[in-house]
Chain A
Amino acid sequence: MQSKGKIAVLGVSITMLVMWGIITIIPLYWMIIGSFQDSYADASMKISMWPEVWSFEPFSRFFDKTMAWRWLLNSLIVSSILTVTNVFFASLAGYAFAKLHFPGRNAIFWILLMTMMIPTQVTLIPLYILVIDVFNLKDSYMGLILPSIVSVGNIFLMKQYMSTLPTSLIHAARIDACSEFGIFYKIILPMAKPGLSVLAIFSFVFHWNDFFWPLLVTESEAMRTIQVGLAGFKFADTTDFGAIMAGATVASLPMIILFFALQRYFLQGITIGAVKG
């Protein structure tokens, strides 16, 4: 009876996972398939699940008729810099909050956590005024980057991760005449690779996909990021779905590459703490 019950549970689990997998994959499949169908040319405006005629026209139109290369470059610059700054500052802050003792540590951490409870929409206007009117950073890389150099969410993530690293290693390094920054750089960072990889992927994907802030601070077409550029990719009376799908496919490539490059660390990172070390 027990084994039958187990088989039933396993069967239900597999069915649900397969269904979930299909639900997840269909939009991606449709995006990729859609990018090879020239629905705009035959004026059908339909995207079928399997193209009758394979066409690279949508890709050509996407790159020829827009500043797509520039948008991709902008996204790459902004996302890469923000990934580096987030990993750097969040790991430093996370280490400090998790392992160093200093006056006001808990109070500062709680204040930071409280800022996470304020919805982004509430802070958007003051932030906009600060960046655009006070710092005069409209339509610039600095305007895109400055407000997001490190997020409280990432600090929290790294603090939780750093807490799992054994404190005795820090003490051993301290006795081994290692400087405080040396401990962070030579001992903590190499051990935190899985956590840092997860943070890097999350950061890159978040900033690559970010739409609203780049929409607010960019004005010229040349300063747009890929997401803002894609949204504006319309003609007077119609939408070129094929080209948008081609753009979306191109836009998703860096994320897919990044994930596979860091997959090993990513999987380690998300399972850390789940098993007894």
Chain B
Amino acid sequence: MARVVFKNVEKEFVDGNKETFIAVKESNFTIEDKEFVVFVGPSGCGKTTSLRMIAGLEKQTRGDIMIGDRVVNKLHPKDRDIAMVFQDYALYPHMTIRENLSFGLKNLKQPKDVIAKKVKDASEVLGLDHLLDRKPKELSGGQRQRVAVGRAIVRDPQVFLFDEPLSNLDAKLRVQMRVELAELHKRLEATIVYVTHDQIEAMTLGQRIVVMNKGQIQQVASPTDLYQKPENMFVAGFIGSPPMNFIDVIYEHGKVTMEGAQFELPEHCAHALRAYEGKKLVLGIRPEHLFGEDITMGVPDTYALTSTVQVVEQLGSENLVYFRVGERMVTAKLHPDSDARVGQMKKFLLDMSKVHFFDVETEKRIPMKFMSA
């Protein structure tokens, strides 16, 4: 297995009108040996382009890509020692599963007995041994997905690349395959680069996550760090479901004022915000860090705001309660026994140890030195 390094990598596309579109902007990161790294972001953010550049299916406009100790800029995909699993599986429809699995090895002129052993081993690991003589069209979505993974495993590559491999599966199968992929990573101890637009997939699979938006890396961090210490409003809003709430506030003399509430900030917050005296800020709080006054879960009622409940979604395990603060719609994830009703004027408590403040202009998070988060 091997490291993957991006050094100042950029990718530009020229469209039909000869206009340049930057798909990936000055990208720098290192994926460590045996690490499972997930690229996540909305459509068109450059995550798949980054993956395709590692694979050699797309050539970067600038910068260097290294796999192991080699700069692979000019290497053909077959010479990069990588294997890729595609979103649509990309199984050869006219070949049997056995032929699909062995195709790459045959092209690499490996001996027949080696090919047979590798195909047997991979098919056993993935539970495909009884399907080897079938064609892809005779398999279910989950089985096809396993074949696509098997085709990568038999190659025994330095780096595995996954391009949204679960997006064509139904929700139940996706959860099952997610667990299987995590187990597979443990077993293979492989370097895996995985692309998805699904943040739950990213959070559950990735040891580290690269969050991208508009071609730019927003943050590279562990799932916990992304959740607890988002670098900016994009990451804060993208990671977490439902997303983080943003409330416009004004900071003055240690107090924040928002529509319907004003309260004095704890010392550590006030200290961190002293440079923003009299300025507008954005307060960020996750839905799970807002509590109703009926079930407070031990959160003091010092920091509270009052608003009329607009919508209540009862999900069984929790109630999602929507209310307005100024122009913004805010979501609270309340206990399922919460008494929230539509039209009710309700007091919501904020867990101030989990609150973030963002600069309005740069949208970056203002670090709180003594925050537990």
Contacts and interface: CB of A to CB of B under 8 A. Distances in A.
A178 B107 contact: yes
Contact of B77 (A166, A175, A179, A191): A175
Given A166-B88, A168-B86, A176 B104 contact: yes
B104 A169 contact: no
Contact of B90 (A168, A178, A179, A182): A168
A174 B80 CA distance: 11
A177 B77 CA distance: 8
Interface in B43-90: 55-57, 76-78, 82-84, 86-88, 90
A175 B104 CA distance: 8
Interface residues of A, number: 16
B294 to A, nearest CB: 50
Secondary structure at the A interface, as helix, strand, loop or mixed, is: helix
Interface string B90-124: 10111000000001100110000000000000000
Contacts of A179: 107
A124 B57 CA distance: 45
A191 B57 contact: no
A176 B91 CA distance: 12
A223 B107 CA distance: 47
B103 A174 contact: no
Contacts of A262: none
A171 B57 CA distance: 7
**Among the interface residues A169, A173, A177, A191, which one has the most CB atoms of the partner chain B within 10 A?**
A177
Interface in A129-186: 166, 168-169, 171-179, 182
B107 A168 contact: no
Contacts, number: 53
Given A168-B86, A168-B87, A168-B88, A174 B78 contact: yes
Interface residues of B, number: 22
Contact of A169 (B76, B92, B155): B92
B78 A172 contact: no
B94 A175 contact: no
Contacts of B56: 175
A169 B86 CA distance: 9
B94 A174 contact: no
B94 A172 contact: no
Contacts of B55: 171, 175
A171 B91 CA distance: 11
Given A171-B77, A174-B77, 14 more contacts: A166-B88, A168-B87, A168-B90, A171-B57, A171-B84, A172-B84, A172-B86, A173-B92, A174-B57, A175-B55, A177-B107, A177-B108, A190-B94, A191-B94
Q: Which 3 A-B pairs have the closest CB atoms?
A: A176-B104, A177-B78, A172-B90
Interface of B: 55-57, 76-78, 82-84, 86-88, 90, 92-94, 103-104, 107-108, 151, 155
